[in-house]
């Protein structure tokens, strides 16, 4: 089993995608918590912003992150020919 | 090609079965509702729900019974992404999520959101770092991966040990929840409720292992989500006219905020009335303070035992007095009897009880905290307030991180991703898992605010002469959940006169929303489904760790299939009975222990698992040092800071609470893996090939790690 350059590129792109999505996860979770008091001054439709992010906003973003990762990686598998056979 | 078509056919078949099942369940609830109108009693409805759902789970268990190793351990690896998502959802959401979450949010507002974020955001880590790679690796348990990746028995053994510690405290809490729900809704005794629930758990996992548990969990997910949503949607419509609670509650939140301001303003009528009650609480807090001082002095003088005996005698004297009173006051006798029955067993427990009473009175003597406000600091000066607020923020962040990483490390969850047909479906399955979990978790904050709105606007300011039925009912059932006393004798209810237990929110929502009792029965069935499904998954994890990792992999690798399964089932039975026995003792600190499980799992597993995939250089010594360091630091911190183990808060680092001990264990674990790996030789070529094998869903000339 010898890895080709193409294989290495697949892995690098996977790492890059993982890093980007993880940064989004980090920002909507920890940066928002850190500035919660300040963000709560902004009120939209009755919701203070930090409260809304903790109760719903962050959760929606988590779901989207995972959905996007699955979609992107499954496409990447095909592009680099490392997708599973039809079994 | 033929396998794909059979997978699709299987999926369609499942879809048909479960649609039919959902329809049948709804019809069942409607029939019960009609029977209720015709005069069926509440208790009978409770029994029917309990019996029908447990019979249903048992039925699925019997239909899925299997003697095949792969079916028993990983459901034959053909669970489609969508259904594995539902099963993971049920596996994940415990009695605490179902019943306790909304209550925690009600009581602690923004600060409670750490659980909502922590228990959902962890799936991002599962998706990005673990699920697809573990699926490609494709064996049976999480210690399997540690064993194969790092070699030797030690990493596997530590993994088994950590898996058992985390899962066992967790399963005890679930069985405890089962006992509580059954006893509340059927009037059975708690102990009997525990064993009745246990029967439901066992029939399922005992006969069919992972296969039976999976298909039962899907059924349980459907029940629990329906049960959660119906009352909340109804409540939302009746308060705001909008059937989507997650949007509508912004309006209710504004209402709550307005009332909070009014109650904290002594120039308003309601605000002034609150002030009088707060003054009473303040006096009570001082009284408890005096009593605690006397207790401490007695202990310091070595008279703790005598002091405790004296207090106990006082409670007994009160009971005798109440019994002798003319005319006899039944309520007072009952209360005095309860005080004697529940009297703390030793001086330490007595102190803890008094401390809690003091804290409760103190909390009620202050202003109403704003629901959405983050990290409200307490203290005499602005500086103290700022400091307290910063500590709260730090704790919030630490807790969120521990819960997230813990989620991504709990073996009973990770194990579920072994059951999908492919890496591709494993990735999609994490999406479905979080989606189904998200449905409940993003509803809970809405429910908390809607319930608060009802309490703040309908209940506060109304008269004691006309208490709403749900208040009177729950006060009669359990006064730790609902208690209202007219402390300032003005005949009106003030907020500070209401004592409300968190679990009440979900349990009482059907009544608050004015729904028939059948919906309360449905909610109980939902709570039971949540507890049973989680217990199933955990028991299987423990039994598999013992039978597969310890017995088969270490003691007798030549054991026959029949023997492996027999041992596995025997162990399952033993673990279940031990867990039920521990639960029937009603260990009071169980909630802390569940929280602790996340920190322990995070510290023990996460570094070794993630580095195993992402760093080829990680080796045997690194894994051993990393896991021991992570687990060790985490346990040491809990031991020195949590009073259950005799620790004190003064030992805390940066004011971090013991539940978030993982915040120290996690870096220790990563450091251990890195240092241990660098000071010893790089792993063998086969191990590096194993890592590549996990990284790529398919490679030419790939090795095969699939277990048969």
CB contact under 8 A, B128 and A69: yes
Say yes or no: B312 and B213 in one domain: no
pLDDT of residue B590: 64
A82 at the B interface (CB within 8 A)? yes
Q: In the prediction, which pLDDT does B705 show?
A: 65
Of the two residues B90 and B351, the one the predictor is more confident about is B90
Structural domain includes residue B93:
yes
Q: What is the ipTM of this complex?
A: 0.95
Domain assignment present for residue A59? The answer is yes
> A-contacting residues of B 4-63, CB under 8 Å?
4
Question: Which residue, of B319, B346, B366, is where some domain finishes?
Answer: B366
Separation CA B15–CA B662 (nearest Å): 40
Backbone angles phi, psi at B367, to 5 degrees: -65, 155
Of the residues B92, B423, B692, B697, the best mutation for testing chain A's interface (the one with the most A CB atoms within 10 Å of its CB) is B697
Does the pLDDT of residue B204 top 50, yes or no? yes
Confidence of residue B319 (pLDDT cuts 50, 70, 90): confident
Does residue A87 form part of some domain?
Answer: no
- The tally of domains found in chain A comes to 1
Q: Which of A12, A51, A76 to mutate to test the interface with B (most CBs of B within 10 A)?
A: A51
What was the pLDDT predicted at B487? 84
Sequence-ordered strand ranges (E) for B407-481:
none
User: Is residue B229 included in any domain, yes or no?
Assistant: yes
Residue A34, min C-alpha distance to chain B (Å): 7
B13: tokens are 């078949």
* Per-residue pLDDT at B543 exceeds 50: yes
Report the pLDDT value the prediction gives residue B591, as an integer from 0 to 100: 65
Q: In terms of domains, do B626 and B674 share one?
A: yes
Identity of the residue in A1, A2, A58 whose CB atom sits nearest the CB atom of B703: A1
Q: Would B378 be classed as within a structural domain?
A: no
Residue B591 tokens, joined: 């909630």
For chain B, give the percent of residues with pLDDT over 90.
Answer: 24
Global pTM value: 0.90
Is residue A5 less than 8 Å (CB to CB) from chain B?
no
Residues of B (240-259) whose Cβ lies below 8 Å from A:
246, 250-251, 253-254
Taking CA atoms, B406 is separated from B410, B644, B653, in Å, by 6, 22, 20
Contact state of B445 with A55 under an 8 Å Cβ cutoff:
yes
Q: Place A17 in a pLDDT band, splitting at 50, 70 and 90.
A: very high
Most B CBs within 10 Å: which of A24, A45, A59, as the mutation test of the B interface?
A: A59
Strand partners for B484: B498
Q: Which tens digits make up the pLDDT trace of B551-604?
A: 888 888 888 888 888 888 888 888 888 888 888 877 666 667 777 889 999 999
pLDDT of B1: 39
Partner residues linked to A48 by β-bridges: A43
- Domain match, B360 and B403 both: no
Tell me which residue of B434, B437, B439, B455 sits closest to B502, measured CA to CA.
B455
Please indicate, yes or no, if residue B259 is contained in any of the structural domains.
no
pLDDT at residue A87, rounded to an integer = 45
Q: Is the pLDDT reported for residue A84 higher than 90?
A: no
Give the residue from chain A lying closest to B426, CA to CA: A70
Closest CA of chain B from A46, distance in Å: 5
Q: What pLDDT digit, counting tens, does each position of B43-91 carry? A: 888 888 888 888 888 888 888 888 888 888 888 888 888 999 999 999 9
Report yes or no on B182 lying in a domain: yes
Query: Which positions in chain B touch A32 (Cβ < 8 Å)?
Result: none
**Chain A environment of B113 (Cβ under 8 Å):** 51, 54-55
Q: What are the residues facing A47 on neighbouring strands? A: A44
List the single residue in B with minimal CA-CA distance to A71.
B428
CB distance B145 to B414 below 8 Å: no
Q: CB distance B127–A70 less than 8 Å?
A: yes
Chain B residues in contact with A18 (beta carbon < 8 A): 128-129
Does residue B298 or residue A23 have the better pLDDT? A23
B30 and B150 fall within a common domain: yes
Structure token pair of residue A44: 């939209």
Q: Is residue A21 part of a domain?
A: yes
B535, part of any domain: yes
Distance between CA atoms of B38 and B54, rounded to whole angstroms?
25
DSSP letter for each residue of B349-390: HHHHHHHHHHHHHHHHTSPPPPTT-SS----SSHHHHHHHHH
Cα B452 to Cα B502: distance, rounded to the nearest angstrom: 11
| Residues B201-221, mean pLDDT to the nearest whole number | 85
A68: closest chain B residue by CA? B431
In the structure encoding, which two tokens stand for residue B272, read together? 């002034």
The answer to whether the Cβ–Cβ distance between B431 and A55 falls below 8 Å is no
Nearest chain A Cα distance for residue B424, angstroms? 6
**Per the structure block, which two tokens stand in for B690?**
């194993």
Task: Give domain status of residue B613, yes or no.
Answer: yes
Q: Do B120 and A84 touch (CB under 8 A)?
A: no
Whether A86 sits inside 8 A of B1 (CB atoms) is yes
* Residue A35 binned pLDDT confidence (cut-offs 50, 70, 90): very high
Q: Residue B225: is its pLDDT beyond 90?
A: yes
Cβ pair B127:A69 closer than 8 A:
yes
pLDDT score recorded for residue B531: 87
Q: What is the pLDDT of residues B676-707, one digit of tens each?
A: 999 999 888 888 888 888 898 888 766 666 65
Lowest mean pLDDT among B427-431, B622-626, B650-654: B650-654
Residues in chain B: 708
CB neighbour list of residue B708: distance below 8 Å, 6 or more residues apart: B69, B70
Residue B252 lies in a domain: no
Q: In the predicted model, what is the mean pLDDT of chain B?
A: 86
Assign B608 a pLDDT band (cuts: 50, 70, 90): very high
The fraction of chain B above a pLDDT of 70, given in percent, is: 97
Q: Which domain holds residue B433?
A: 15-237+395-446+517-695
Say whether both B416 and B318 belong to one domain. no
CA B1 vs. chain centroid, Å, equals 43
Same domain, B96 and B230: yes
Contacts of B114 (CB under 8 A, 6+ apart): B396, B399, B400, B403
Q: Which residue has the tokens 């950590």?
A: B162
Structural contact between residues B548 and B568, judged by C-beta atoms closer than 8 angstroms: yes
Q: Whose structure tokens read 């006060």?
A: B475
User: Is the domain of B559 the same as that of B631?
Assistant: yes
Q: Which of B600, B649, B605 is nearest to B627 (CA)?
A: B605
Distance from CA of A40 to the nearest CA of B (A): 7
Q: Please give the radius of gyration of chain B, using alpha carbons only, rounded to the nearest integer.
A: 27
Is B403 in the same domain as B531? yes
Widest pairwise Cα distance in chain A: 59
Q: Does A66 touch chain B (CB under 8 A)?
A: yes
**B428-474: pLDDT as tens digits:** 999 999 999 999 999 999 999 999 998 888 888 888 888 888 888 88
CA distance to partner chain A, nearest, from residue B201 (Å)? 31
- Cβ distance B1 to A67 less than 8 Å, yes or no, reads no
CA dist B124 → B189, B360, B457 (Å): 41, 38, 39
User: Are A77 and B254 in contact (CB < 8 Å)?
Assistant: no
| Chain A closest-CA separation from residue B615 CA (Å) | 12
In sequence order, which residues have a C-beta less than 8 Å from that of residue B694 and are 6 or more positions away?
Answer: B133, B134, B136, B137, B613
Residue A83: its chain B contacts at CB < 8 A? Answer: 424, 697-698
Interface check B445 vs A, CB under 8 A:
yes
CA distance B498 to B476: 14
CA distance B399 to chain A (A): 11
CA distance B591 to B595: 6
Nearest to B107 by CA among B360, B337, B328: B360
Give the number of other CB atoms < 10 A from CB of residue B667.
Answer: 15
Q: How far is CA A13 from the centre of its chain?
A: 14
Query: How many residues are given for chain A?
Result: 87
| Same domain flag for B78 and B170 | yes
Return the pLDDT at B588.
61
Residue A46, domain member (yes or no):
yes
CA closest to A18 among chain B residues: B128
In angstroms, the separation between the Cα of residue A74 and the nearest Cα of chain B is 6
- How many interchain CB pairs under 8 A, A with B? 142
Q: What is the pLDDT of residues B374-428, one digit of tens each?
A: 888 777 788 888 888 889 999 999 999 999 999 999 999 999 999 998 899 999 9
How many degrees, rounded to 5, is the angle at CA B162 between CA B689 and CA B78?
55
By Cβ distance, the residue of B253, B446, B697 closest to A84 is B697
Residue B158 Cα to chain centre, angstroms: 25
Q: Calculate how close chain A gets to B365, using CA atoms only, in Å.
A: 25
Question: What pLDDT is attached to residue B589?
Answer: 63
Asked whether residue A84 is domain-assigned, the answer is no
Task: Write out residues 18-47 of A within 8 Å (CB-CB) of B.
Answer: 18, 21-22, 25, 29-30, 33-34, 36-37, 40, 45-47
Cβ of residue A69 closer than 8 Å to a chain B Cβ:
yes
Residue A69 lies in a domain: yes
Residue A13 forms contact with B (CB below 8 Å): no
- In-domain check, residue A72: yes
- Interface residue of A31, A42, A54, A82 to substitute, partner B, most B CBs within 10 Å: A54
- The pairing of beta strand A47-48 with beta strand B482-484: unpaired
- Rounded distance between C-alpha atoms, residue B401 and residue B387, angstroms: 21
Q: Does B442 touch chain A (CB under 8 A)?
A: yes
Q: B392 CA to chain A: closest CA distance, Å?
A: 11
Residue B119 confidence (pLDDT) above 90: yes
Nearest CB to B431; choose among A22, A51, A67: A67
Q: Look at chain B and report how many structural domains it folds into.
A: 2
- B524 and B618 in a single domain? The answer is yes
Domain with A57, as residue range(s), is 5-79
Cβ contact (<8 Å) for A46 and B254?
Answer: yes
In a shared domain, residues B198 and B87: yes
CA-to-CA distance for B121 and B168, rounded, in angstroms? 24
Q: Does residue A86 lie within any of the structural domains?
A: no
Q: Residue B150 sits in a domain of what CATH number?
A: 1.20.1730.10
Residue B212 exposed, middle or buried by CB count within 10 Å (0-12, 13-18, 19+):
buried
Residues B362, B316, single domain; the answer is: yes
């Amino acid at each position: 089993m010898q890895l080709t350059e193409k294989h290495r590129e697949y892995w690098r792109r996977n790492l890059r995608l993982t890093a980007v999505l993880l940064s989004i996860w980090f920002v909507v979770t920890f940066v928002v918590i850190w500035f919660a008091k300040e963000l709560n001054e902004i009120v939209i439709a009755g919701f203070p912003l930090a409260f809304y992010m903790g109760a719903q906003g962050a959760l929606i973003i988590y779901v989207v992150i995972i959905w996007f990762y699955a979609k992107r990686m499954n496409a990447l598998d095909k592009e680099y020919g490392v997708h599973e056979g039809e079994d | 090609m033929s396998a794909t078509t059979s997978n699709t056919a299987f999926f369609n078949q499942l879809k048909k079965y479960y649609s039919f099942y959902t329809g049948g369940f709804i019809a069942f609830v409607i029939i019960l509702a009609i029977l209720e109108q015709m005069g069926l009693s509440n208790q009978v409805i409770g029994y029917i729900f309990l019996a029908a759902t447990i019979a249903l789970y048992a039925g699925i268990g019997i239909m899925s019974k299997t003697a095949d190793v792969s079916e028993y351990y990983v459901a034959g690896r053909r669970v489609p992404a969508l259904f594995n998502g539902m099963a993971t959802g049920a596996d994940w959401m415990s009695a605490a999520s179902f019943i306790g979450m909304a209550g925690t949010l009600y009581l602690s507002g923004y600060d409670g959101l750490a659980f909502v974020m922590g228990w959902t955001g962890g799936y991002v880590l599962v998706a990005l770092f673990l699920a697809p790679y573990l699926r490609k690796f494709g064996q049976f348990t999480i210690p399997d991966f540690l064993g194969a990746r790092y070699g030797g028995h030690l990493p596997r053994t530590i993994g088994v040990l950590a898996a058992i510690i985390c899962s066992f405290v967790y399963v005890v809490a679930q069985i405890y929840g089962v006992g509580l729900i059954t006893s509340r809704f059927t009037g059975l005794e708690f102990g009997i409720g525990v064993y009745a629930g246990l029967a439901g758990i066992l029939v399922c996992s005992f006969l069919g292992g992972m296969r039976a548990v999976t298909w039962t969990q899907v059924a349980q997910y459907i029940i629990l989500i329906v049960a959660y949503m119906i009352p909340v949607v109804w409540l939302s419509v009746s308060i705001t006219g909008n059937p989507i609670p997650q949007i509508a509650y912004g309006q209710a939140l504004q209402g709550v905020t307005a009332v909070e301001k009014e109650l904290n303003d002594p120039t308003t009528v309601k605000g002034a009335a609150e002030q009088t009650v707060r003054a009473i609480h303040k006096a009570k807090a001082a009284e408890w303070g005096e009593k605690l001082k006397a207790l401490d002095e007695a202990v310091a003088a070595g008279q703790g035992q005598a002091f405790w005996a004296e207090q106990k005698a006082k409670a007994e004297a009160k009971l005798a007095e109440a019994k002798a009173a003319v005319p006899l006051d039944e309520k007072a006798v009952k209360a005095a009897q309860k005080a004697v029955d529940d009297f703390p067993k030793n001086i330490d427990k007595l102190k803890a009880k008094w401390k809690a009473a003091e804290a409760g009175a103190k909390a009620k003597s202050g202003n109403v905290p704003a629901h959405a406000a983050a990290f409200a600091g307490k203290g005499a000066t602005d500086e103290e307030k700022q400091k307290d607020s910063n500590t709260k923020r730090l704790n919030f962040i630490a807790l969120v991180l521990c819960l997230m990483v813990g989620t991504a490390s709990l073996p009973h969850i990770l194990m579920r991703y072994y059951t999908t047909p492919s890496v591709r479906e494993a990735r999609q399955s994490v999406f479905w898992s979080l989606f189904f979990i998200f449905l409940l978790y993003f509803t809970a904050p809405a429910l908390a605010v809607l319930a608060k709105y009802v309490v703040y606007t309908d209940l506060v300011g109304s008269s004691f002469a006309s208490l709403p039925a749900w208040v009177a009912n729950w006060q009669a059932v359990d006064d730790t959940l609902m208690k209202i006393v007219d402390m300032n004798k003005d005949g009106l209810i003030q907020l500070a006169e209401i004592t409300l237990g968190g679990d009440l929110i979900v349990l009482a929502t059907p009544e608050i929303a004015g729904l028939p009792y059948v919906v309360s029965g449905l909610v109980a069935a939902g709570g039971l489904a949540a507890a049973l499904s989680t217990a199933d998954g955990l028991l299987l994890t423990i039994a598999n760790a013992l039978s597969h990792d310890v017995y088969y992999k270490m003691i007798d690798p030549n054991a026959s299939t029949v023997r492996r399964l027999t041992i596995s089932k025997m162990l399952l039975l033993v673990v279940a009975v031990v867990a039920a026995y521990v639960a029937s003792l009603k260990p009071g600190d169980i909630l802390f222990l569940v929280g602790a499980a996340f920190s322990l799992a995070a510290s023990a597993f996460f570094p070794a698992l993630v580095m195993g995939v992402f760093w080829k250089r990680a080796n045997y010594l690194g894994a051993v040092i990393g896991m021991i360091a992570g687990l060790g630091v985490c346990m040491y911190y809990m031991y020195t800071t949590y009073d259950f183990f005799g620790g004190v808060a003064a030992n805390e680092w940066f004011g971090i609470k013991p539940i978030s001990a993982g915040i120290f264990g996690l870096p220790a674990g990563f450091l251990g893996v890195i240092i241990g790996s660098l000071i010893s030789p790089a792993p063998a070529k086969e191990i590096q090939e194993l890592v590549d094998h996990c990284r790529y869903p398919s490679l030419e000339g790939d090795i095969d790690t699939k277990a048969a």
